[in-house]
Structure 1
């Protein structure tokens, strides 16, 4: 009887572990897809990744190390993005994903370097809060980033 209980416990553990791995992959894929659409300035696709009540903040660090917090609506973010002229090349490179799951929410963080016309503009960390829908899809509910010219390599 004990071997049967042990075997059943191992199966449940394996199924739980597999779900965590799949959820982490799906959360990371959402962010990668978000940035693919971001670089294409694809407003319609970006909207599909965000919850209708998404919140956005940025923490800026100036040359003296002083910080400021700003808020932006997702709509204004999209308006700004699509207004970038085709002649301006921009690229946000993500580094070192960290993903934490807690039931129906996930936190995805990644350091980034932002380039304009192939020149490093600034760097920082992006942190996304995600919620899992009933259908099993992740949606972005909160996005906060840091922006600094200090310590960028």
Structure 2
């Protein structure tokens, strides 16, 4: 529940303009590079290299809408990495349709719309939010939350 409150608070702050947007400057480009590298590694089925992009204890959640109820489903990052590694290269293809990031010193939040394809076939679309922290060796993802839908893409 605390994670949901933190994410909700960050989104409210972003929408209210409390964060500085650096969508096209060097830091914004660094954030986007981490995100696109994650999707490149998924496309290449290189799950083990994904570990280079995340912090210890990183979280991965999906917002689920069922029967009028909203819930969060957590996926362990180790399970996600095993799943990516088990696919043939080129099977998983997450394509961004928009991207924006906001940074404040060593904290960044990225919001992106996407379309997801499996073996070239459309699977779903939605939004990802990623929270990143600046470490000595670069920006690292510590949280990913996504939505998924098949209509209204």
**TM-score normalised to structure 2 length:** 0.77
1:21 to 12, 21, 25: 25
User: Which residue number corresponds to residue 139 of structure 2?
Assistant: 138
Post-superposition Cα deviations, 1:13-64, rounded to whole Å, max 9, x if no partner, equal: xxxxx9x8211111111111111111111122110000012011001345x6
User: Which residue number corresponds to residue 126 of structure 2?
Assistant: 124
Secondary structure in 1 aligned to 2:25? helix
Q: Does 1:31 align with 2:32?
A: no
Residue 68 of structure 1 deviates from its aligned partner by 3.2
**TM-score normalised to structure 1 length:** 0.77
**Structure 2: stretches of 5+ with no match in the other structure:** 1-21
Between structure 1 and structure 2, the one with the greater Rg is 1
Q: CA RMSD in A?
A: 2.3
Rate the CA distance shift 1:60–1:149 in 2: closer, same or farther, 3 A: farther
Residue 97 of structure 1 deviates from its aligned partner by 0.5
Secondary structure in 1 aligned to 2:148? strand
Aligned length, in residue pairs = 132
Distance 1:145 1:51 in 2: 18
Residue 66 of structure 1 deviates from its aligned partner by 4.8
Distance 2:91 2:59 in 1: 26
Q: Does 1:77 align with 2:106?
A: no
Rate the CA distance shift 1:56–1:87 in 2: closer, same or farther, 3 A: closer
